[in-house]
Structure 1
């Protein structure tokens, strides 16, 4: 009968700092997508509501307001690392919904399908990054850690 012992892994001394720095970088890069988009929707509210209406969604003004709150409001929270896990999950769900409603490549003619397929999977990948932030947290360089 053999016995096994669990091996012990010791992370390098600077692993925590690198992880915290990468978490900050990830939050900043994701926020760079959402905050300007939310600001553009705020300053171009009528156009945003019109675009939402053009895809057949109900209550386009409410949809535009929700998009602004999520992209601008929760985008800022993500950036500074406040309520990060919740913000990341809500933004991720919003991003998946946007992919489904605005990049439905499966229902488009071939000449529009390719670009919309790229945009769809870009949104899905962004949601994946947001879910990773939700899983692992904001890191040390955040309001959540203060």
Structure 2
């Protein structure tokens, strides 16, 4: 059983992590065709389907994160989204970039986001969530 301050900290953490994803997810949702065309320009197969999955994860994932719905599935979806973004940005050279931290601040920020989502995956949403109110 968590105390009120721990529940408040978990809620604040959920809101802050969701704040990383929700604005860009909303913007991509409003400009869906340009997201699909940019994925097609990168040579990815089925760009409309992939854009739908990525935009869905980036917009619906933070909403579920704030509410506290399906904590493990939400964390896994956002981890998958962040990992796929890292892979599409850096490609197979990700391992070489880990050893050059000054040149790759965005890579390490994405890895820190994945770490925070892993904490959410293991700790759960806390007492102030839809999951615990059932």
Choose from 75, 79, 94 the match for 2:62: 75
Compared CA separation, residues 44 and 114, structure 1 to 2 (3 A):
farther
Distance 2:113 2:71 in 1: 15
What root-mean-square deviation, in Å, do the aligned CA atoms of Structure 1 and Structure 2 show? 2.2
Q: Which has the higher helix share?
A: 2
1:46, distance to aligned residue in structure 2 (A): 1.6
Equivalent position SS for 1:103: helix
Structure 2 partner of 1:131: 118
Gaps of 5+ in 2: 95-99
Q: Which has the larger radius of gyration?
A: 1
Unaligned residue ranges in structure 1 (runs of 5+): 1-14, 108-112
* Consecutive aligned runs of 4 or more in structure 1 exceeding 3 Å deviation: 103-107, 113-116
- Cα shift readout 1:20-55 (whole Å, capped 9, x = no counterpart): 111111110111111211111111112111222232
Q: Which runs of structure 2 are paired with 1:17-28 in the superposition (5 Å)?
A: 17-28=4-15
